[in-house]
Amino acid sequence: MILGRLAPSRPGQSGERSGSPTARGRAGAACCGISTPCYILAPANANLSARAFRLLRSVRLGKHCQQVWEIRSMSDHRGNPIVRAAVRLALAGNALAAFGVAHGQAAPAAAPTPPVTEEVVVTGSRITVPNEVAISPVIAITPETIQQSGANRVEDLLNALPQVYAAQNAGVSNGADGTAQVDLRGLAPKRTLVLVNGRRLGAGTPVRGGGPADLNQIPAELIERIDVLTGGASSVYGADAVAGVVNFILNDHFSGVKFTADYGLYSHHNDNPQGVAADLAAWNANNGTKFTPAPSNANDGYQRDLAFLMGFNAPENNGNVTLYGTYRRVAPALQNLFDYSACSLGSGFTNTSVSSSGVAAGHFSCAGSSTTAPGRFRLVNQFGQNLGGSRALHFVGGVGTLVPFANSDRYNFGPLNYYQRPDERYTAGAFAHYTFNDHAELYSEVQYVNDRTIAQIAGSGAFYGTGPYQVNCANPELSPSMITTWCGGVANPANNVFLLVGRRNVEGAPRADDLEHQAWRLVVGDKGKINDVWSYDVYGSYAITQLAETYNNDVSISRVKNALNVVTDPVTGRPVCQSVLTGTDPRCVPWNIFQQNGVTQAALAYIEIPLVNRGQVEQREISGNSTGDLGVYGVQLPTARSGLKVNVGAEWRQVLNTTTPDLEYLTGDAAGQGSPTVPIDGQITSREVFIEARLPLLDDKPGAAAMAFETGYRYSDYSLGFSTNTYKFGLEWSPLQELRVRGSWARAVRAPNSAELFEPRYVGLEGATDPCAGAVPVFTPAQCAATGVTGTQYGTIDGNPASQYNGQLGGNITLKPESATTKSVGIGWAPSIAPGLRIQLDYYDINIDNTIQRVGFATTLALCANQGLF
């Protein structure tokens, strides 16, 4: 569909591109009061509303301008259209003539200059190589690919690559830390090193031991190229480059003024053919308040982006200053708007005719949580063990009659979760460099980002695993059915019973984790030539990321226990907490979950608590290296055109990580957390030296248009009492100019982070089964006897009804680095008959030894039992 009056082409282009999906025509009116044409680009299949088109036309620009208005059509993960509109401006005119753009015209072509051999820095090596690439397997995302993708989030750009997974992205709600991370080859983000212009990006968050880099700190509008290197690169860049490296090359030499505005949303037509809607209808027949059907169409997840870029060249092009600022606002996308997530899908999908639960073949079924409303109750002893004949019950009707709990009584927690978190981000920064002479070029980078997001999941409550809860049999809120079932029919104030309670706090708001990160990054350096052979690059960098976290609407376990232990006030005759009468907690308000509509706002205000965590992580780095072309001294093979190049250097790096959770986090009193959050205070310092060499072996020989060998080594000494050695070897061979075969072998390391080293030990949820519980225990009588189980108890112990067990967790100061051996072989073909086409096939093998990872609950128990360690 053609929208409005269209111009013939973009500035600098002539005619229609071959195969272009964009329809164009000539604009009859002048733009911005002069004869500069406007450009409105729209895919032929774009379906943009008249309102959205009017919004684009309403944009007012400066007097002298060139414009490109784009309507980009994208798809979400299910192929549904995502409409995105963009307005891109490049200002020009007399006032900006210094930028090389004439009034009302496209930028003229530069005057011809003599051809030069460009020295380019490639990811995977510190050695500048004339018109070559590193032997390491590198995939480059080009500016054209970035522009055509329509993506505004860096993680979305990377996620299109098969070797990349965007971990901790905007779609993570349960367990989010507010960052966006990159995970190469599924080996976890902590094993992927992120660089900006070849230098380390600081940690993205102080939680989890100074987590991996946050891609939110990288302005997408400044990206010139993204290099993704697979395999170990620790000998070049240091620790953490186990799975590989992602290097963002930013535009630090922009000249002119550029403004971009983008707007997008998710548009989805609900018509799931696999039984979700039918199952929702069946559930709603039982209780329509739990599983509300999704609307027929969903338009959500709106995203607005603004970016401003301005650059100035110094006289005679001896330097440049580039300034930028961006703003992004993202609206949430709730699961309740989509038919495939309006209920929490169960495991009922089956290929048989009809499953055991009655679900037809090829159809899904709805599921949910047993922590529900009006609640699930089980009578236990004070240790949480089932009493004889006890079973899960819930009450129905206004009189509170207890009936057995069924699957249809489960709570639908899915709709309140976010598919996309709301997010607001500001970034600003500057890049500057100035060349005094061949021997000195000063450069600096300053970046700032403030990002705030909210991760939301279903409401908290009283969970089986946080009990048991004491209930007085004289509680006036109990129904006759409850007194009969739990108290033997006698409302005796001297009698207390214990219950496991699964009661969702539906009267309160969903749990919302408000995460705000503020980060600064500063780089100052100097580079240049020492003489005709040697060059140098020395820099210092400082990065700090600060976290302000407030977790809202969780429920206090200790307060719930007080609020359920209720009797009649002897003075007022009204329900009152025992803790009020005893004076241990005069603020207590009864939480009446034993009657319909019994929960009051005062009770919610009492049991709900916020949790607060603050922290920061700093990275300090001083690095210097020097590259020499020893071919000038004659260190060169007679079969090659150029000689040996080497790079030597040293590096000092320090990471400081602190977090200060509040008392609620520290004590683990919040029911919806599962474990305490403990503070971290640690410092890791490394001193490193490295060397790298590249030797051309053959050039322009029969069967070898080019062949080269490279190697590298790094020694790192850590303040924790250990040292590491990393190295690499690589060989490339081009039998033809169009064909390139390469192979590499490397050793990489990852040093333990602050959490893995310094996290204090604590008790928290860890396991789901007891191998000595049940009628037929997993462990033998002898193994269980070692844990304290007697012969008469064996086979009679009930498992935890909540299927939750605690374990002791924490860091280990004696940890040593994990190491990896990475091998890769690849072949690349760039046929001359198809310019721009490159076919690349890579094989890789990454083997990690001494992996730093928490040993699971079941594994620990099995090892202790089999080796007699109890």
- Is the residue at 321 inside a domain? yes
CA dist., res. 829 & res. 838, Å (int): 6
Dump pLDDT digits (tens) for 463-497. Answer: 988 889 999 999 999 999 999 999 999 999 999 99
pLDDT higher than threshold 90 for residue 552: yes
Give the confidence band of 153 by pLDDT, cuts at 50, 70, 90: confident
Q: What is the pLDDT of residue 698?
A: 95
Instruction: Give me the sign of the Cα torsion angle 525, 529, 531, 534.
Output: positive
CA dist., res. 515 & res. 519, Å (int): 13
Question: Other CB atoms closer than 10 Å to residue 428's CB: what's the count?
Answer: 16
pLDDT higher than threshold 70 for residue 545: yes
Question: Other CB atoms closer than 10 Å to residue 668's CB: what's the count?
Answer: 20
- Is the residue at 53 inside a domain? yes
Dump pLDDT digits (tens) for 242-274. Answer: 999 999 999 999 999 999 999 988 888 887 666
Q: What is the pLDDT of residue 847?
A: 95
Q: Residues 104-121: what's their mean pLDDT?
A: 42
pLDDT higher than threshold 80 for residue 283: no
DSSP 638-675: TTSSS--EEEEEEEEEEEEEEEEE-HHHHHT-BTTTSS
HSE toward the beta carbon, residue 793, CA cutoff 13 A: 13
- Is the residue at 344 inside a domain? no
Q: What is the pLDDT of residue 642?
A: 92
pLDDT higher than threshold 60 for residue 354: no
Which residues have CB under 8 Å from 216's CB, separation 6+?
154, 179, 180, 204, 425, 449, 451, 517
Closest CA to 140 of 838, 859, 868: 838
CA dist., res. 711 & res. 692, Å (int): 6
Largest CA distance in the chain: 105
Parent domain of 91: 22-108+256-273+301-333
Instruction: Output the average pLDDT for the chain.
Output: 82
Q: What is the pLDDT of residue 329?
A: 96
HSE toward the beta carbon, residue 851, CA cutoff 13 A: 10
Least confident of 163-167, 216-220, 233-237: 163-167
Q: What is the pLDDT of residue 27?
A: 32
CA dist., res. 132 & res. 125, Å (int): 11
pTM, full prediction: 0.83
- Is the residue at 69 inside a domain? yes
More confident residue, 299 or 735: 735
Q: What is the pLDDT of residue 369?
A: 86
Question: Other CB atoms closer than 10 Å to residue 79's CB: what's the count?
Answer: 7
Q: What is the pLDDT of residue 47?
A: 41
Least confident of 290-299, 534-543, 840-849: 290-299
Least confident of 150-164, 486-500, 542-556: 150-164
Residues 230, 47 contacting (CB under 8 angstroms): no
- Is the residue at 394 inside a domain? no
pLDDT higher than threshold 80 for residue 653: yes
Helix (H) or strand (E) segment spanning residue 603: helix 601-607
| DSSP-derived secondary structure letter, 754 | H
More confident residue, 198 or 78: 198
pLDDT higher than threshold 90 for residue 858: no
pLDDT higher than threshold 60 for residue 756: yes
- What Å distances lie between residue 707 and 55, 631, 740, 816, CA to CA? 57, 16, 9, 38
In 451-583, which ranges are continuous DSSP H helix?
Answer: 480-487, 557-564, 578-582
Closest CA to 696 of 709, 682, 684: 709
| DSSP-derived secondary structure letter, 282 | H
- What Å distances lie between residue 670 and 512, 551, 610, 614, 850, CA to CA? 13, 10, 9, 17, 35
Q: Residues 806-826: what's their mean pLDDT?
A: 92
Q: How much of the chain exceeds pLDDT 90, in percent? A: 56
Dump pLDDT digits (tens) for 425-472. Answer: 999 999 999 999 999 999 999 999 999 999 999 999 999 888 899 999
Dump pLDDT digits (tens) for 798-809. Answer: 777 667 788 888
Closest CA to 163 of 827, 847, 819, 844: 844
Structurally, the chain folds into a number of domains equal to 1
In 48-142, which ranges are continuous DSSP H helix?
Answer: 50-57
Residues 340, 360 contacting (CB under 8 angstroms): no
Least confident of 184-198, 382-396, 627-641, 828-842: 382-396
SS percent in the chain: helix, strand, coil, step 5: 15, 45, 45
pLDDT higher than threshold 80 for residue 366: no
Question: Other CB atoms closer than 10 Å to residue 35's CB: what's the count?
Answer: 10
Dump pLDDT digits (tens) for 633-650. Answer: 999 999 999 999 999 999
- Is the residue at 307 inside a domain? yes
Q: What is the pLDDT of residue 665?
A: 96
Give the confidence band of 285 by pLDDT, cuts at 50, 70, 90: low
Q: What is the pLDDT of residue 82?
A: 41
Q: What is the pLDDT of residue 281?
A: 65
Q: What is the pLDDT of residue 556?
A: 97
Residue type, 333: A
CA dist., res. 705 & res. 337, Å (int): 59
Q: Residues 335-350: what's their mean pLDDT?
A: 73
